[in-house]
Structure 1
Amino acid sequence: MKYGVTLLPTSFESLRKHVRLAEAVGFDYIGIADSQSLFRELFVSLTVAATETTRVHLGPSVTNPLTRHPAVTASAIASLQELSEGRAFLGIGTGDSAILNLGLRPARMRALREYVTTVRSMLNGETVEYLGREGHVRWSRDPVPIMMSAEGPRTLRMAGEIADRVMVHTGLTREVLDDTVEHIRAGEIDGGKAAGNSEIWAFAKCNIGDDRNAAIDEIKMALAASAHHAFRFTLEGKHVPEELHEALMAIQGEYVPAEHEQVGDTRNAALSDELGVTDYLADRFAVVGTPGECREKVRQIVASGVDVLQITAISHDPAEIIRRFGEEIIAR
């Protein structure tokens, strides 16, 4: 298995430090979050990351169909592909904090499908119709791997059908991952691809410490963010115990998009304790705890057929998560 890390570009000074460290300790991929209202601009940040590294692959983790026209996205990622000498990938999802902080709703599946297929055609230099108008990126000729973020059964199946890679944010337990992979493989067959053609990435919130409870406590806002995103449309087919349905749906109404993934004493950080779901969310969505506990969780993820484990480094000291994961997980 290979490893990636998603970074939140809160400053260019910290971004430079973190991408250099991630490459040095053995990560294979670096993703940059796209949330224009909260963090530095995505493709400026990716350019900084490309110029500070030589080996790791880089891309949005993830962008959306609403804030960028497909020609803008295709031109931007093709430019990154050229600048990085072939190290770019393009992650696309329905939208999270980037669109919620503009008062918009996540993209529908049909819109996401059209966006992904349009961007792919434009990356091949084709002229294509989008929303009734023709567009193109004439100079682009170098295909970039397209990764779709997916949670629900239908979206997972569509991702298997049309994407090169699928970033799954369904959860990290064996039952959930086995079901997730099954949906993706079914989608590959729908798309006329060989089963196993799509690379599977598991998305995990992460913190490594000497005490599991303390490590969880520092990333409670990230656990709430995972619950808010993964369960926002429906709980159907998502393997959630019935006794937790009410609490997890309550997060949908209580979550504060303007505080998305913000470290500290925020409303989002308090939600999981108030609703009694902290342990459940940590087990389902995180690689968190002591180095030994984290290594065991990674072994379980590997056994489910995941190709890439993409962690987040969100805490008071993101560099410590990056360093410890590299030295105590990847190196072993």
Structure 2
Amino acid sequence: MAPVRPVSVGPVEVRLVEIGISHLPVSPSRALRLAQIAESTGIGRFGVADSSHLFGAMYPTVQLILSRTARIKVGPFVTNPVTRHPSVHAADVAALATLYSPDRLALVMGTGDSAVHSVGLRPAPAEQVGAALRTIRGAAPDGVTLELAASGPKAAAAMAAGIDGLVLGGGLSASWTRRLTGAAGPAASARVFLIGHLVEREDEAARAREAVRASVLAVARHAIGTGMAARDVPARLRPGLEQAFARYDFAAHAKASGANGRLLDDYPEEEAYLFERFAAVGTAGGVAERLRAFQRETGITGAVLSSTVPDPESHIALAGERLIAALGP
């Protein structure tokens, strides 16, 4: 994968916004097909979610994709140090780096969300995540990318030498993003994770929003479910969001047609806020404009879009063929 290239715009140097995709590996063959579409359209990264109880095996899916693609970076997005010991992660990463090129592997680790809650476990403390990444770095050959997933400053502060960058789960809040990157200190990169659903025409956006309501609620609950006052959430919206988050059902996690998709029915203002902050829904041109504006405010270097949509092939193709072009110089 080519590095993110700086682009000179007058006296200010602006980086290209690198686009990645995350996917839930319910079907390894489907994951492979989507990764091949991503690679063929110029997308640089394809992340495989790690909630084994809900979505299936992650590392076998990563290996399948590596074996049947040539350039795209692949790896866990997001994994944790609870459901697998760091030594197990380290062994798997080292083996894959031996079988394939190390610079094609990218692992993102966080405290754990659906992966741990769905099996009755607790998320890891931030310090444990940082220690796990250092363990993996000690076993991984040069070239493997290791990143820290963070939705709050305590997690971001686990950034340490040997970790290549941040993946931020706080959405498109400029002040909150600057606080997270500030807590991390100097970082090689900072990418933001968003619920994505790209469409051909603007009149398709309403249906697209309906399809990802549950996903938007899920990522928002993880990012701002606690300490909303400190996480840039308007005071008038906090009571309604607290009620919706409290009713979230992990058994229906990532299911668009499940009960979670209806939890925002009584909270239209809260729903509008969550979509504005945590989603990238609409045409490539519209999404590109928002990402560019956010980059100018925060200095992010990339965005990772989810693929939990009715037609992920079309969504990913639009991300590669149109969104990347719209973000170009």
Please report the TM-score for the alignment, with normalisation by the length of structure 2: 0.87
Which residue of structure 2 aligns with residue 216 of structure 1? 209
State the Cα distance separating 1:175 from its structure 2 match.
Answer: 3.4
Query: How do residues 212-251 of structure 1 correspond to structure 2 at under 5 angstroms?
Result: 212-251=205-244
8 A contact 2:173–2:232 mirrored in 1: no
For residue 248 of structure 2, the aligned residue among 244, 252, 255 is: 255
Query: How do residues 71-110 of structure 1 correspond to structure 2 at under 5 angstroms?
Result: 71-86=87-102, 87-110=104-127
Which residue of structure 2 aligns with residue 41 of structure 1? 57
Q: 1:272 to 1:74 in 2, by over 3 A?
A: same
State the Cα distance separating 1:118 from its structure 2 match.
Answer: 2.8
State the Cα distance separating 1:220 from its structure 2 match.
Answer: 0.3
- Point out the more displaced range, 274-283 or 315-324: 274-283
8 A contact 2:137–2:162 mirrored in 1: no
Is 2:199 the partner of 1:205? no
Q: Deviations over 1:242-282 (max 9, x none)?
A: 11111222233211111111132x11111223333211111
State the Cα distance separating 1:227 from its structure 2 match.
Answer: 1.5
Which residue of structure 1 aligns with residue 147 of structure 2? 147
| 3-state SS of 2:309 partner | coil
Q: 1:278 to 1:204 in 2, by over 3 A?
A: same
Q: 1:141 to 1:175 in 2, by over 3 A?
A: closer
Identical amino acids, percent of aligned pairs: 29
State the Cα distance separating 1:81 from its structure 2 match.
Answer: 1.9
Is 2:295 the partner of 1:302? yes
State the Cα distance separating 1:161 from its structure 2 match.
Answer: 6.5
Amino acid at match of 1:312: S
Specify every segment of 5 or more residues in structure 1 that has no aligned partner in the other structure, as ranges.
124-139, 189-194
Q: 1:283 to 1:202 in 2, by over 3 A?
A: same
8 A contact 1:231–1:249 mirrored in 2: no
Q: Distance in 2 between matches of 1:168 and 1:98?
A: 18
Q: Distance in 2 between matches of 1:83 and 1:302?
A: 36
For this pair of structures, how many residues does the alignment match?
304
Q: Deviations over 1:286-331 (max 9, x none)?
A: 1112333212112123322111211111111111110111122112
| 3-state SS of 2:266 partner | helix
8 A contact 1:90–1:146 mirrored in 2: yes
Specify every segment of 5 or more residues in structure 2 that has no aligned partner in the other structure, as ranges.
1-16
Amino acid at match of 1:214: R
Moved over 6 A (4+): none
State the Cα distance separating 1:143 from its structure 2 match.
Answer: 6.0
State the Cα distance separating 1:99 from its structure 2 match.
Answer: 0.7
For residue 39 of structure 2, the aligned residue among 3, 15, 23 is: 23
Amino acid at match of 1:272: L
Q: Distance in 1 between matches of 2:175 and 2:127?
A: 28
State the Cα distance separating 1:83 from its structure 2 match.
Answer: 2.4
Which residue of structure 2 aligns with residue 117 of structure 1? 134
Amino acid at match of 1:313: S
Q: Deviations over 1:143-165 (max 9, x none)?
A: 63221110112222223677321
For residue 324 of structure 2, the aligned residue among 292, 313, 330 is: 330
Which residue of structure 1 aligns with residue 174 of structure 2? 174
Which residue of structure 2 aligns with residue 275 of structure 1? 267
Q: Distance in 1 between matches of 2:147 and 2:191?
A: 9
8 A contact 2:229–2:235 mirrored in 1: no
Q: Distance in 2 between matches of 1:145 and 1:269?
A: 34
Amino acid at match of 2:177: L
| 3-state SS of 1:263 partner | coil
Which residue of structure 1 aligns with residue 286 of structure 2? 293
Amino acid at match of 2:302: V
8 A contact 1:19–1:52 mirrored in 2: no
Please report the TM-score for the alignment, with normalisation by the length of structure 1: 0.86
Amino acid at match of 1:120: R
Q: Deviations over 1:109-130 (max 9, x none)?
A: 2322332333333x1xxxxxxx
Amino acid at match of 1:172: L
8 A contact 1:208–1:324 mirrored in 2: yes
Q: 1:91 to 1:80 in 2, by over 3 A?
A: same
State the Cα distance separating 1:27 from its structure 2 match.
Answer: 0.5
Q: Distance in 2 between matches of 1:272 and 1:159?
A: 34
